[in-house]
Amino acid sequence: MRFKITPLVLALVFLSGSVAFAASDNSATPAPDVVTGHIIVQFEDDTAPFRIVPVARGNEVAAAQRVATGKGVIYAEPDFIVKAVGSNDAFYADQWSLHNTAQTIHNGVAEVLGAGTLDADIDWEEAYTSFASDTFSEVTVAIIDSGVDTSHPDLDDKMVSGWDYVSNDAIPEDVYGHGTHVAGTAAAETGNSIGVGGVAFPSTVNIMPLRVLNDDGSGYTSNIANAIRDAVDNGAQVINLSLGSYRKSRTMQNAVKYAWQKGAVLVAAAGNDASGAKLYPASYPEVISVAATDWYDDPAYFSNFNSEVDVAAPGVNVLSTFPTHPFTIEEKYGRSQNYDVANGTSMASPHVAGLAALLFAQNASRDNVVVRGLIETSTDDLGDIGHDVHYGWGRINVANALEATFTPPVDDDGDNNGPSCPPAKAAKGKC
C-alpha cells in the first residue's frame, strides 16, 4: 500500500497577488492550544485540500483573520493542537466490557476494584459464539492516534501499511502507548490463546496505524485531517479517532465530510471532562460520538454528555494491548508493557469502531449509512427512553447489531449525502 501524502508546508503562497502577510511582533504570546509558526489556508482552484502557510510565531490567530479576507482564499484558520482523550485469549476473563458475568474487576491483573454487573457489557460473547465460524470479508480499520506497536504479538498479524505524520515516514511506531491500547480493543487477534480479544474478531479485519500524536499524546489538526483523507484513499472503511479538541476546525470538518462521502464510518471519543462541552471531531454530524460507561452500565464519571453523543460503550478499566517496549504512559502513569487497563472515552470509541468493522465484514455490500444505522438502532437503551445526553441511543450491543436489519431512509434534502435526519432518529420516528 502506498500513501499519497498531501504536501504540508508551503513556503509562501500568493494567488493573483491577493494574499499578503503583515509583519508581526515576534514577542507576541501564542494561544496555548494553537500550533505556532504557521496557519492553515484553503485557496480557490487549488488541487490540495489545504496548505500550511508560515507566519510569525505568536501571530497565528491574527494572521488567519487577515488572510481569510484575502481574494482567492476560501478560509484561513490556526492549526489547533489536538490531544488523546484518554475467547480463549489468556486475559479474556478480565475483559468485562465484552462479557460481564459480575466477575471481580481488577486494575490490570492485581488490585481488586470491585465486582461487575451481570450483562452490563456489549454482548460480545453472544456474538462471538453465534458468528465466529461465519465467513467474513476483508475490512480495514484506521487507528488515527499515537501509532501502534506493529510487532505486538496480539496485533502483528492484522497490520497493514500505515504512516507517521509526526516524523513523516512509514514507521508509525507507538511511543506514547495510547494508539496500541485503542487498536487492541478494536481488533486484537482473537482466539489465539494469548492476551485479549478484539471486538472485530475476524482475522480478515486489518489495522492501519496512522500516527498523528507525538510522544506526549498531542498532535496537529492539519496532520489529523491529512490522515483522515489518506486513510479512506488507501482503503479504510472505518476510522477511529480517540482524540479531540474543543476548537472547531474547518480543515478537520472538511476531512471528515470527505471520508463520509467516500463511504467510511468515523467514530470518535466524546471527551473526558465530565461536562456538556462538545469535543471535535466527535461532535461533527458525520461522526459517531461515543460516551463511556462503567461495569455497572452507569455513565462513566469522566464522560462528557451532550446532544451530539450518539452511542455509549465501556470505557472504565478496559483491558487491552500496550506496547511491548517502554512507552510514555508506562512512565507517567505506571501502566505495564504488553497488556493493562485504561480509562476514557478513548477506550469506549474503539468498541464502536470494532463493531462497525464487524458489520462491514459481515456483509460487504453494506454502505456507511446502513452500518451506522445498525449500530445506533440495535443498542440497549439505557437512561432516558430514546436519545439522551449520557448514552445517546444507548450502549452498543454487538449481538443485536449482527442480527439486525436496517433500511435507510431516502435522501430528503437533495445533497446526495444521505438523509438529513440521522439514521437512528429516522428509524425510531424521531424526525
346 has catalytic annotation: yes
Beta strands, E only, 85-150: 104-107, 111-115, 139-145
Catalytic residue among 145, 164, 294, 388: 145
Catalytic residue among 38, 106, 178, 387: 178
Catalytic residue among 87, 346, 349, 378: 346
Chain centroid to CA 2:
22
Q: Are strands 139-145 and 265-269 parallel, antiparallel or unpaired?
A: unpaired
Judge whether 53 and 24 are in contact, CB under 8 Å.
Answer: no
Distance CA 172, CA 166 (A): 9
Beta-carbon contacts of residue 298 (< 8 Å; ≥ 6 apart): none
Cell numbers placing 272: 473526558
Judge whether 390 and 407 are in contact, CB under 8 Å.
Answer: no
Judge whether 218 and 82 are in contact, CB under 8 Å.
Answer: yes
27 has catalytic annotation: no
Distance CA 62, CA 406 (A): 48
**Is residue 268 helix, strand or coil?**
strand
Distance CA 360, CA 370 (A): 9
152 has catalytic annotation: no
Distance CA 268, CA 264 (A): 13
Q: Residue 72 — left, alpha, or beta (φ > 0 → left; ψ -120 to 50 → alpha)?
A: left
Q: What is the DSSP letter of 137?
A: -
Residues with active-site annotation: 145, 178, 346
